Amino acid sequence: MAKLHFYYSTMNAGKSTSLLQSNHNYKVRNLKTFIFTPKVDAELHEGQIHSRLGVNEKANVFDEGFNFYDFFKTRKDEKISCILVDEAQFLTESQVKQLCNVCDSFNIPVMCYGIRTDFRGELFTGSMSLLAYADTMIELKTICEYENCARKATMVARYVDGKLVTVGEKVVIGGEHYKVYCRKHYRKITGLI
């Protein structure tokens, strides 16, 4: 029976790299996959999933109105081996439920990769839904950026022009705007928790 997997972490933990590696593993065995990236990220990266290591792959682009169940219902006879979704925090709750339905109805594994919380420590809608509905949840880890801290980073802080910000739009695309910290140092730096 196929499962819905949620791989989550902070920024710079290798989520897109892991997705691209998984996709590669299917492809070299001549197995069919579909990879997706949200429109908000696709616009910045020309419709590709990209890794900071320099690996890229063309992806199907989804927006808030995209219906995953309808898309795969017409392809249920194509022997699809896996569906991979990058930046899954941008999925809507309805889209997460659609992916659950695709997984359960068509027996296609779904692997979603995303950030758990925003720069204020609040869950993204897609992540909240994936935490509720996924069969498995796998945390990808990276290290706190605070001075000599070696703890696991669990929080994301936003910087604009080198200055910490704790208010603003929920979404600002671009890894250069963010640093990752353990909860202790995030609290010390932001005062948000």
Residue 169 is a catalytic residue = no
Smallest Cα–Cα separation from 180: which of 11, 8, 7?
11
Residue 19 · residue 138 · CB < 8 Å = no
Nearest alpha-carbon partner for 86 in 137, 30, 23 = 23
Q: How many beta carbons lie within 10 A of that of residue 169, not counting itself?
A: 8
> Hey, which bits of 39-177 come out as E strands?
48-50, 56-58, 60-62, 80-85, 110-115, 136-139, 155-160, 163-165
Instruction: Name the catalytic one among 46, 87, 139, 145.
Output: 87
Number of Cβ within 10 Å of residue 165's Cβ equals 15
Cα(116)–Cα(123) distance, integer angstroms: 6
What single-letter DSSP state applies at residue 97? H
Token output for 115: 């950030």
Measured in residues, the chain has a length of 193
Q: Which residues are catalytic?
A: 87
